[in-house]
Amino acid sequence: MIHRDIKPGNLWLEAPPGWAEAPPADRPPLPAVARVKVLDFGLAQPAGEELVSARVLGTPAYMPPEQARGEPADARSDVFALGVVLYQLLTGRLPFPRSDRAPGVRAPAPGAGARPAPRAPRRRWSI
């Protein structure tokens, strides 16, 4: 299954009751049983099945350049999108400026995203 729209809004953290409502400073560490669930399979398609569409489907900030150009999505598309989500989780920012991630705009060159280490708050590196 290829999701084709992995983004923070489609990922659900299953945490202990009351964990998300607690102020961030008072939250205990998540237990080892915490899970992330993927939501919204409205754009999903079976792997190996090519979808022909005149429109680019997905969220531009999280889609790989190939998908933004209208090429078929495959499992690598979801891996790219998850990488963008993880980068954003660590740094609080997207790896590419929004103008570079819109369909029809030039794709970012390999290595164009800023390295996360200088941007990530120290506390996040303790995870």
Question: What would the pLDDT profile of 19-61 be if each residue is shown by its tens digit?
Answer: 778 888 888 877 777 788 899 887 777 777 666 555 677 888 8
Asked, for residue 43, whether it belongs to a domain, the answer is yes
Asked, for residue 3, whether it belongs to a domain, the answer is no
Asked, for residue 107, whether it belongs to a domain, the answer is yes
Please report the pLDDT score of residue 78 as a whole number: 92
CB 62 within 8 A of CB 85: yes
Q: Has 40 been annotated as catalytic?
A: no
Q: Is a pLDDT exceeding 80 seen at residue 91? A: yes
Arithmetic mean of pLDDT over the chain:
76
Q: Which one of the listed residues 5, 40, 74, 78 is annotated catalytic?
A: 5
Please report the pLDDT score of residue 80 as a whole number: 93
Give the span between the Cα atoms of 101 and 104, in whole angstroms: 9
Q: Rounded mean pLDDT of 84-98?
A: 84
- Residue in this structure with the two tokens 């794709």, named with its chain if needed: 107
Asked, for residue 39, whether it belongs to a domain, the answer is yes
pLDDT category of residue 8 using cuts at 50, 70 and 90: very high
Between residues 107 and 70, which one has the greater pLDDT? Answer: 70
Q: Within 13 Å, how many C-alpha atoms sit on residue 26's CB side?
A: 6
CA dihedral sign, ordered 70, 75, 80, 84:
positive
- Residue in this structure with the two tokens 């705009």, named with its chain if needed: 105
Give the span between the Cα atoms of 124 and 127, in whole angstroms: 6
The residue segments making up the domain with residue 72 are 8-125
Asked, for residue 2, whether it belongs to a domain, the answer is no
Asked, for residue 1, whether it belongs to a domain, the answer is no
Please report the pLDDT score of residue 22 as a whole number: 84
What is the tally of structural domains in the chain?
A: 1
Give the span between the Cα atoms of 74 and 47, in whole angstroms: 7
